[in-house]
Structure 1
């Protein structure tokens, strides 16, 4: 239902279901829908109301909801990109990029830099940066040269130096 109803409609529907279920309905509906018990309780209150809410246009109070992590922690996107860019994998001609670092490891590195972030949020932020989260599996990217990582770091450093001088990198 969450794909076809807005927040208010979903809340009222969940509240009506909880009322129909009777005793323990709030907990039952909260578990089944993954909504908070408070949300279901507010839905029950709205469903019991004799008249509809005065403001039917707004779904959410103005300013409600959490602020985006980029607003709460400025610089987190830049720090994350700096962590994954040197070890980015994939065909340079392809828009699909991925990193060999796990979201858990990236979250730990960001936390060491003073950011408060979970591995799940790191996954979302990587998606915003254009990275694709892939399942763990063996990838054949070519011969496994013992100094392959060092080669990628050197190439990345050279590319960054050229870009800093305003020169193109191919």
Structure 2
């Protein structure tokens, strides 16, 4: 071998693993011919026996192929062996998840070992390490505690979550609509600073008002959302006045006529998952009165399941819809109602989230009093389990008799 080529060959030789070195030395000895083994032995410090073994392996092509793992060989991914594992894992996680509404990440209070045990009980043999990898691929993450819950101690909290989960499954199995409703925080409309950053030319930040005085803006925007859990679609009714029970129910009404009626033409029932407080609260009489009006109008039975006090962040609309709206308009001043509608309507996700939005210019009256007599006229049936949080409103008796 020429000195330059020889040095280059030796450099490459020393980067190889044991088997590759043996075959490379054997190939070079064969290439040299007579006296090749002796020359290669001197260059590589390999024994004659090892080089001779390499020559035999090169000649025995079938044996060599067994030693070299083919592309795609090796242990198959568990998801290729058992396609149900991802679906079963999602079922477990959906029963035990919560999310920070400002983040797209989900978290679980179950350990990977416990989840692995549950999957094994279902006949899916999987290690806790594999569970960890699958959760990471599905955007779950381990998170510490965050002080967000109120002081109220709801002794029936766990029971209520189990009940909500059971009702949601039952409605979806029967292809009946299930919606999650809530209002996003009130936003000032105008050239005001919005938390976050957007891409702009260097040293050219968007200039906004240095004070958030209401007089400098166009008004306020109150986004009330309705999220269809089954279809992964949402509707946002953007109010300009007050957040009242009538406004909250009107958001559901708008969703029904724009999306719900089209997606569920044969629907006889509607399940509404809502918080326990504010305008759609479990004790709000005006909320129930307006739901009665809606039931009469669309001729559908409406069942409401409230989340226990202090658990609003478990509401699916928070981390499946509102979080993405916040991320879509972060750093962008909400200069006009038209801009707000466009930003909401153009919010989407990799999983295909679609949102429609409209501007509600109606003025709503605050502090409407509902008498006991009016309350008695509501065709309402309370569930035996946590009746204050679970009830069904059907068409009024007067309307049914007509």
Alignment TM-score, normalising by the size of structure 1: 0.60
2:130 corresponds to 1:121 = yes
Partner residue of 1:45? Answer: 19
2:183 corresponds to 1:167 = no
Aligned length: 126
C-alpha displacement at 1:157, in angstroms?
2.9
C-alpha displacement at 1:166, in angstroms?
4.9
What pairs with 1:1-170 in structure 2 (closer than 5 Å)? Answer: 16=14, 43-48=17-22, 49-50=24-25, 51=27, 61-91=70-100, 94-134=103-143, 137-143=144-150, 144-164=153-173, 165-170=175-180
Which entry has the higher C-alpha Rg, 1 or 2?
2
Distance 1:159 1:98 in 2: 20
C-alpha displacement at 1:161, in angstroms?
3.7
Indicate the structure whose relative CO is greater, using CA pairs within 8 Å and at least 6 residues apart. 2
C-alpha displacement at 1:110, in angstroms?
0.9
| SS of residue paired to 2:118 | helix
Distance 1:94 1:105 in 2: 25
Listed one character per residue, the Cα deviations across residues 98-133 of structure 1 (whole Å, up to 9, x for unaligned) are 111100101111111111111111111112222113
Distance 2:18 2:176 in 1: 61
Instruction: Give the 3 Å change call, closer, same or farther, for CA 153–91 of structure 1 in structure 2.
Output: farther
Instruction: Give the 3 Å change call, closer, same or farther, for CA 95–156 of structure 1 in structure 2.
Output: farther
Q: Which runs of 5+ in 2 are unaligned?
A: 1-11, 29-57, 59-67, 181-402
C-alpha displacement at 1:92, in angstroms?
5.2
1:90/1:98 contact within 8 Å kept: yes
C-alpha displacement at 1:162, in angstroms?
4.0
More strand by share: 2
Instruction: Give the 3 Å change call, closer, same or farther, for CA 73–101 of structure 1 in structure 2.
Output: same
